[in-house]
């Protein structure tokens, strides 16, 4: 049996437990000993992270060789065009080479969705739109670079799912424990589509940090 912890990482939180620059980290929200992130999520991105103390499981989840698909919701600047979606589905060329084809589709703003703190800065004259993008690679800032390459810069980025594990019901800063059997791979099947909805449960108070206090 193996345990994982799924965590909804808030905006501007480091995906590690320490930071020499005093930024918020996982330790502000999680006080469970001897667990580590299975993969990373950018400081300015939000959403699903998986943590575990099982090294083999950590490798299975995080290593690109296993092609575990990750689903992102991206709010982009402008009304996303059919041609831009077609480019994402075919694969786009970045500075470090062409990407694999992605599953890309236009979606309505996920509902319900928590407000970001601080909020996204908009330009009044330019509309925004949302897309769902599913990839199996793990390049640095890949989703942001992909949408920029097709002419639609990302304003807000949320990781909604990793394989079959999804945010379902987790507010920002909350985590939940899941115990897996030795056949855990069926839970992380890269071939099943992830749910588009968050099923976010609103609550009136912010999660209380359980680690060190955040530096201001």
Q: What is the CATH number of the domain that holds 172?
A: 3.30.2350.10
Indicate whether 145 belongs to any domain: yes
Indicate whether 146 belongs to any domain: yes
- pLDDT of residue 52 exceeding 90, the answer is yes
Where helices occur in 91-194 by DSSP H, the ranges are 142-149
How many distinct structural domains can be found in the chain?
Answer: 1
Instruction: Report DSSP state, residue 47.
Output: E
pLDDT at 37: 95
Indicate whether 172 belongs to any domain: yes
- pLDDT of residue 103 exceeding 90, the answer is yes
Active centre residues (catalytic): 42
Indicate whether 205 belongs to any domain: no
How does residue 63 score in pLDDT terms, banded at 50, 70 and 90?
A: confident
Domain enclosing residue 22, as ranges? 2-186
How does residue 213 score in pLDDT terms, banded at 50, 70 and 90?
A: very low
pLDDT at 111: 86
Q: Taking a C-beta distance cutoff of 8 angstroms, is the pair 166, 194 a contact?
A: yes
Indicate whether 191 belongs to any domain: no
pLDDT at 185: 45
> What is the rounded average pLDDT of the residues 54-65?
80
pLDDT averaged over every residue in the chain: 85
Tokens (6 digits) for 76: 């982009």
The C-alpha atoms of residue 38 and residue 18 are separated, in whole angstroms, by 16
Q: Taking a C-beta distance cutoff of 8 angstroms, is the pair 132, 105 a contact?
A: yes
Question: Most distant CA pair in the chain: distance in Å?
Answer: 54
Q: Which residues have a Cβ under 8 Å from the Cβ of 135 and sit 6 or more positions away?
A: 69, 70, 72, 99, 100, 102, 142, 143, 146
pLDDT tens digits, one per residue of 106-163: 999 998 899 998 899 878 788 999 999 999 888 899 999 999 999 999 999 999 999 8
The C-alpha atoms of residue 51 and residue 214 are separated, in whole angstroms, by 21
Indicate whether 195 belongs to any domain: no
pLDDT at 67: 67
Let me know how long the chain is: 216
Tokens (6 digits) for 112: 């319900």
Indicate whether 194 belongs to any domain: no
How does residue 61 score in pLDDT terms, banded at 50, 70 and 90?
A: confident
Indicate whether 199 belongs to any domain: no
pLDDT at 19: 96
Q: Taking a C-beta distance cutoff of 8 angstroms, is the pair 147, 77 a contact?
A: no
């Amino acid at each position: 049996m193996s345990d994982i912890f799924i965590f909804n990482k808030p905006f501007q939180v480091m995906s590690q437990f320490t930071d020499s620059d005093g930024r918020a980290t996982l330790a502000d929200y999680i006080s469970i000993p001897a667990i580590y992130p299975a993969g990373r999520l950018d400081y300015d991105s939000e959403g699903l992270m998986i943590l575990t103390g099982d090294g083999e499981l950590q490798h299975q989840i995080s290593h690109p060789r296993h092609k575990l698909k990750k689903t992102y919701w991206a709010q982009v600047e402008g009304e996303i065009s059919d041609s831009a979606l077609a480019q994402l589905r075919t694969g786009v060329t970045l500075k470090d080479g062409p990407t694999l084809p992605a599953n890309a589709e236009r979606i309505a703003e996920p509902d319900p969705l928590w407000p970001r703190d601080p909020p996204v800065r908009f330009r009044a004259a330019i509309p925004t739109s949302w897309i769902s993008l599913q990839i199996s690679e793990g390049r640095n800032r890949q989703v942001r670079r992909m949408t920029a390459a097709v002419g639609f810069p990302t304003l807000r980025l949320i990781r909604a799912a990793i394989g079959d594990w999804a945010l379902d019901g987790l507010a920002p800063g909350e985590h939940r424990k899941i115990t897996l059997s030795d056949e855990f791979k069926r839970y992380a099947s890269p071939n099943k589509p992830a749910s588009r909805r968050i099923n976010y449960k609103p609550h009136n108070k912010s999660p209380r940090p359980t680690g060190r206090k955040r530096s201001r």
